[in-house]
Amino acid sequence: MRLLQQLSAKPYSTFALDTQLAELVELESLAELMAYQPQATPLLLGEGSNSIFLSNQTQTVLRYLAKSRTVLSEDEKNVQLHIEAGDNWHQLVSWTVAQGWWGLENLSLIPGSVGAAPVQNIGAYGAELADCCDYVDFFHWQSREVQRLSKGDCGFAYRDSIFKTALAGQGVIVAVGLTLKKQGQPKLGYKGLEHLNQHSSVAEVAQAVIAVRQSKLPDPAVLPNCGSFFKNPVVSHTVFETIQHAYPAIPFYPQADGLVKLAAGWLIEQVGLKGQRIGDVGCYEKQALVLVNFGLGTAADLKQMIALIQQKVAVTFAVQLEPEVRLLG
């Protein structure tokens, strides 16, 4: 176990606001987690790629860093994996792609830890974690025991899960179970993947996704950001038709339940905010969905930019944007 006190929050959030953490605890194994007895419920943090500390944090911040990969079973069709929560998500994806296994390729280059993936039910380019997740192992603070939640128990929805609702603050995700396929069909329904076909390899799909992401998303080490800042809104077909009548070129993605998903970045661009900034926080010039810290951004700058985006999109499209990023404090 590692205990740090009174330290800058900058290294622990890729948005890098200059706030402070009162206490940070890092645990390296399940045994350490089971032995740890917090005085109050700690705030969980993965790699900080989806969390922004808006103010000085007095609550203890806990990072669970255990990482191992275990092949539970394998046959000619599938492979079942048990992955500890501290593993890096993109490194895991790259490893599975190198094995020739299908299922995670469209989720390449998403930053963060494996343990954070079920919380958001991370998704990109027509795929999401729920597509291949079998179970999530969850350590409860109260019972001091690990519970295995099946995929059905996890309440997966668009950027949502039981870990953001009923189990929020109740414990720690310690591992994830995945089933990947030896033979797969590429998911190519998103812009940037048109040059591929159903005969493309899993590595070709992953490389195409990485290329698209790198062309649109700034490197947080160079320009601090948390990737896509807002959820893509899902609206009724009636609302969609009203918007499409005024904006025939609007990109849209029909959902199985009859609703329609819209591209939040496109909406923000249409209201003229792409490349705009307030203080040292702004909409990235290559992708309006990404908010960036130009170096000296403050929480006040960020909150004003969020409010401006939400207000303009609501007035123009009657659509309310919700942050995908976790705002703390």
CA-closest candidate to residue 317, choices 254, 257, 273, 256: 273
Out of 47, 84, 128, 324, which one is annotated catalytic?
324
Out of 159, 161, 213, 326, which one is annotated catalytic?
159
Assigned token pair, 17: 């606001």
Residues 6+ apart with CB under 8 A from 185: 102, 198
CA-closest candidate to residue 173, choices 131, 119, 129, 134: 119
CA-closest candidate to residue 127, choices 99, 142, 106: 106
Assigned token pair, 329: 């404090």
288 HSE (CA, 13 A, CB side): 18
CA-closest candidate to residue 157, choices 178, 192, 140, 133: 133
324 counts as catalytic: yes
Out of 47, 213, 228, 326, which one is annotated catalytic?
228
213 counts as catalytic: no
128 counts as catalytic: no
CA-closest candidate to residue 34, choices 136, 171, 176, 177: 171
Measure the CA–CA gap between 49 and 51, rounded to whole angstroms: 6
Q: Which residues are catalytic?
A: 159, 228, 324
